[in-house]
Amino acid sequence: MHDIKALRDNPDLFDQLWAKRGLEPQSKKILDQDALIRKAGQVVQEAEAARNKSSKLIGAAMAKGDKEEAERLKQEVAGAKNVIAAMGAQVESEKTILQDRLAGLPNVPFADVPEGEDEDSNVELHKHGTPKNFDFKPKDHADLGEALGMMDFEAAAKMSGARFVVLSGALSRLDRALAAFMLDLQTGENGYTETTPPFLVWDKALYGTGQLPKFEEDLYKTTGDHYLIPTAEVSLTNIVRESILDADSLPRRMTAHTPCFRSEAGSAGRDTKGMIRQHQFNKVELVSIVKPEQSEAEHKRMLGCAEEVLKRLKLPYRVVELCTGDLGFGARRTFDIEVWLPSQDTYREISSCSNCGDFQARRMNARYKYAEKDNRFVHTLNGSGLAVGRTLVAILENYQNADGSITVPDALLPYMGGVTLIK
């Protein structure tokens, strides 16, 4: 959501920033409608003032027993009410149109975000680690997992269809070990508070974080009023919705290990094999609620917290900054972490860390006490720390041996109950 006042003050700046994301100029339409609404709104308010005034006089007239005067005043009120009804309805419908228009517009990027149309213009910031040279042809994770007898796509397909998997044995254990390792790192060393939020949320929560109204087709909806969360970003960020936070409580850092549910509409044919793109996957999410002046530094910090997981697992990765055309709906700046996958001979996204500025805060009405009588919107950030399924994929592929066994990374040994080699 955008600040209509800021838009009134700097319409050209907004259009300029939206243009970087490939949008047509929006400000004029919005401001014209805004002016219309305010003008009509004034008429309504004046009518309301007249109605209120006359109504109070009616009370006084009745008290005095002046029925005639009361009747005359009632006529006045009736006239005012006609205006209120007619103009009021118009104002309301115009407001709804304006709200919908504003709600459908993406966040504006920071001025120094690299410009570009799509992911080809993303900028690599740095690399870490060196891809291992295998003296055999590395297999992909799906082949490895199936050969181990611990990754069953067929069984999952029979009950749930494509893009599901059944893990078992040591791979299930590995999945759990990864989540525990990530949570321990983020809570024990990086200051995030472990949180167990709802996995089912109302539409307004999704609206708050920006998945709605534009991306409904990506979500699973229950037969009731709930949606399954596509990421714990939704649950964690909405924890502060409709509240005024104590300034001293910021930054507030939360992490949660949750399943994520995505319909993957529109991605048919992509990553059809294996666990890269599933309808259901687990993720350890990081969310920070901060003061505006803290958000840029917090963003880098969060990126570091996510990177640390890969460093300790000794997985090669690189960090890219998304260009304006590749930014998500709510983000002002995003860093993606991509892990090396030998089978694909390339880096694949395993984490995405975004600074949303006050975009989500406005939609959620989440503020903090800046001063006496001055509440300001917080900034919100979210990032994966990390996607557990894709991390499991990366470990299988990077730690595979010629015989198809998987060496357990040192960092996970404390979580694997004595298992050092998966075979």
Using the minimum distance from each CB to RNA, give the nearer residue, 137 or 373. 373
Binding segment (CB under 7 A) for RNA, from list 37-45, 227-235, 287-295, 329-337: 37-45
3-state SS, residue 127: strand
**Considering only residues 54, 122, 237, 334, which one is a binding residue for RNA as defined by CB under 7 A?**
54
Which residues are catalytic, by number? 262, 277, 349, 352, 390
**Considering only residues 6, 22, 32, 52, which one is a binding residue for RNA as defined by CB under 7 A?**
52
Nearest approach, Cβ of residue 313 and RNA (Å): 33
Contacts to RNA from residues 346-385, by CB under 7 A: 373, 375
CB contact at 8 A, 302 and 286: yes
Alpha helices in 3-117 (DSSP H): 4-9, 11-20, 27-64, 67-103
| Contact flag: residue 48 with RNA (CB under 7 A) | yes
What single-letter DSSP state applies at residue 289?
Answer: E
Q: What residues contact residue 232 under an 8 Å CB cut-off, 6+ apart? A: 197, 256, 257, 258, 260, 283, 285, 287
Using the minimum distance from each CB to RNA, give the nearer residue, 53 or 241. 53
**Considering only residues 7, 30, 58, 306, which one is a binding residue for RNA as defined by CB under 7 A?**
58
Nearest approach, Cβ of residue 93 and RNA (Å): 11
CB contact at 8 A, 321 and 333: yes
Using the minimum distance from each CB to RNA, give the nearer residue, 29 or 38. 38
Nearest approach, Cβ of residue 198 and RNA (Å): 11
Binding segment (CB under 7 A) for RNA, from list 70-78, 107-115, 181-189, 320-328: 70-78
Nearest approach, Cβ of residue 246 and RNA (Å): 11
| Contact flag: residue 68 with RNA (CB under 7 A) | no
Nearest approach, Cβ of residue 36 and RNA (Å): 11
Q: What residues contact residue 93 under an 8 Å CB cut-off, 6+ apart? A: none
3-state SS, residue 317: strand
Query: What torsion, rounded to 10 degrees, do the Cα atoms 111, 113, 116, 118 define?
Result: -130
Rounded CA gap, 242 and 258, in Å? 23
| Contact flag: residue 62 with RNA (CB under 7 A) | yes
| Contact flag: residue 53 with RNA (CB under 7 A) | yes
CB contact at 8 A, 245 and 111: no
3-state SS, residue 85: helix
C-alpha separations of 72 from 46, 52, 75 in Å: 19, 15, 5
| Contact flag: residue 45 with RNA (CB under 7 A) | yes
Peptide bond before residue 386 is cis, with ω within 30 degrees of 0: yes
Using the minimum distance from each CB to RNA, give the nearer residue, 66 or 349. 66
Nearest approach, Cβ of residue 38 and RNA (Å): 4
Using the minimum distance from each CB to RNA, give the nearer residue, 89 or 123. 89
Using the minimum distance from each CB to RNA, give the nearer residue, 156 or 250. 250
Nearest approach, Cβ of residue 56 and RNA (Å): 6
Contacts to RNA from residues 73-92, by CB under 7 A: 74, 77-78, 81
Q: Residue 375 carries which side chain, given as an amino acid letter?
A: N
Using the minimum distance from each CB to RNA, give the nearer residue, 14 or 164. 14
C-alpha separations of 81 from 43, 48, 60, 241 in Å: 12, 8, 20, 36
**Considering only residues 6, 49, 155, 402, which one is a binding residue for RNA as defined by CB under 7 A?**
49
Task: Identify the CA nearest to 26 among candidates 105, 123, 119, 130.
Answer: 105
Alpha helices in 104-139 (DSSP H): none
CB contact at 8 A, 48 and 98: no
Size of the site for RNA (CB under 7 A): 24
Q: Residue 38 carries which side chain, given as an amino acid letter?
A: R
Give the contact letters, 215-244, x = binds to RNA (CB under 7 A), - = no: ------------------------------
What single-letter DSSP state applies at residue 217?
Answer: G
| Contact flag: residue 55 with RNA (CB under 7 A) | yes
Rounded CA gap, 106 and 354, in Å? 14
Nearest approach, Cβ of residue 220 and RNA (Å): 19
C-alpha separations of 67 from 63, 73, 77, 162 in Å: 9, 10, 15, 76
**Considering only residues 25, 31, 46, 215, which one is a binding residue for RNA as defined by CB under 7 A?**
46
| Contact flag: residue 95 with RNA (CB under 7 A) | no
Using the minimum distance from each CB to RNA, give the nearer residue, 180 or 244. 244
3-state SS, residue 200: strand
**Considering only residues 38, 64, 300, 423, which one is a binding residue for RNA as defined by CB under 7 A?**
38
Query: Where along the sequence are the contacts to RNA (CB under 7 A)?
Result: 4-5, 38, 41-42, 45-46, 48-49, 51-56, 58-59, 62, 74, 77-78, 81, 373, 375
